[in-house]
Structure 1
């Protein structure tokens, strides 16, 4: 028998093609019909692997989230672990910015999201943070990560210096931001996360002091 003219479908092949489409055209443009055309098959052929588009998107989300490293909470102090986890989280998201709005919807019932949430929460509680505070720390860090990847602040500026003539402060360098967007966005994220972790330190010290006093 000769080779099939269209390569056999698999969940991995469908998932990869869908993510390539999202990266290229945006999340809103993804449809099963368009994905089928990209793969050289009818849309109906996809439903044997993914009954709905949401099933496909959830599988893509799990694949992206699986790259987020939470092992830092097993080996480092909470400050280092929080920073390194946030960096890993951002790195996973920034590779697929068009997919971030779907990931931002929350953990839901997705396995990998729940794994990450459990590891972060557990690591913070083991470090001595009260459960409620550990939940808020994880949520606040997530706000910083997702906010830093959902859009690029720096690339939103124009290279045309004349646009900023009426703005005395912006005209000094706003036209240069677009060309350095990746650097500025990355360093802005580091600034925000670093300030957040540093801001937690006095609360943690007070918490430890209170426990020491109670023990004494």
Structure 2
């Protein structure tokens, strides 16, 4: 029998299938046995590409980091505008793959795409005139904010049952039952409000840094 033109298994195919499982069912759904069944191969064949389940999840996490746009840090663009657009792109990637956030939250480790992301942000801040320690802090601050926004929905945490919000107990939550239906709009607005506040604060700090440099 002639050999297939394309190999039955590849690293990219394993990662894509694992990512689909994580998206649909969460981290616990990923196992070598389950992946092998989904891919239609024997379990041991996965070990030609990944040694452990944790390595697979690391690769899935890095595939999500690779979806974040970094082009705004090129060409000497204003640091505030670049940070804003990067944060929006980062949040969009996490919003599409929320179940992998706990792995991403552990830090970049040795993941190439995650390290490129960290390098781009830090490098752009230093080039803009931020001292290296503060550039590091900005990268950390933005990561905390963006990751936190992806861990859950504020609006989605309420129930759409008006009786749950008895005005005798919760006099200011009379409209809370409407929040789930407006989840995306409310969460987007909250993210933008927080991001603007962070950037406003950073801009005030930057004025002091720039003034000291002059």
TM over 0.5: yes
Query: Which residue of structure 1 aligns with residue 182 of structure 2?
Result: 180
Shift of 1:18: 0.9
Residue of structure 2 equivalent to 1:16: 16
Alpha-carbon shift at residue 45 of structure 1 (Å): 2.2
Equivalent residue, structure 2, for 1:206: 208
State the shift of 1:77 in Å: 0.4
Structure 2: how far apart are the matches of 1:109 and 1:152?
30
Q: Which residue of 1 aligns with 2:102?
A: 101
Shift of 1:2: 8.3
Name stretches of at least 5 consecutive residues in structure 1 with no aligned partner: none
Structure 1 match to 2:121: 120
Say if 2:55 is the partner of 1:55: yes
How many corresponding residue pairs? 209
Q: Cα offset for 1:71? A: 2.2
- Report the alpha carbon displacement of residue 59 of structure 1 after superposing the two structures with TM: 1.6
Question: Which position in structure 2 is the counterpart of 1:167?
Answer: 170
Whole-angstrom CA distance in 2 between matches of 1:116 and 1:39: 30
> How far apart in 2 are the matches of 1:207 and 1:79?
14
Runs of 4 or more, structure 1, over 3 Å off, are: 1-4
Aligned position for 2:93? 92
Q: CA RMSD in A?
A: 1.7
TM-fit CA distance, 1:39: 2.1
With structure 1 as the length reference, what TM-score do the two structures score?
A: 0.91
Which residue is equivalent to 2:151? 150
- Partners of 1:57 and 1:30 lie apart in 2 by 8
Distance 2:2 2:206 in 1: 68
SS in 2 for 1:152: coil
- Mean CA deviation greater in 22-31 or 122-131: 22-31
Q: 1:161 & 1:122 partners in 2: Cα distance?
A: 50
State the partner residue of 1:195.
197
Deviation string 1:9-52 (CA, Å, 9 cap, x unpaired) is 22222111111111111112211111222223332221122121
What's the offset of the Cα at 1:72? Answer: 1.3
Q: How far did residue 116 of structure 1 move?
A: 0.8
Secondary structure of 1:204 counterpart? helix
Aligned in 2, Cα 1:206/1:27: closer, same or farther, shift over 3 Å? same
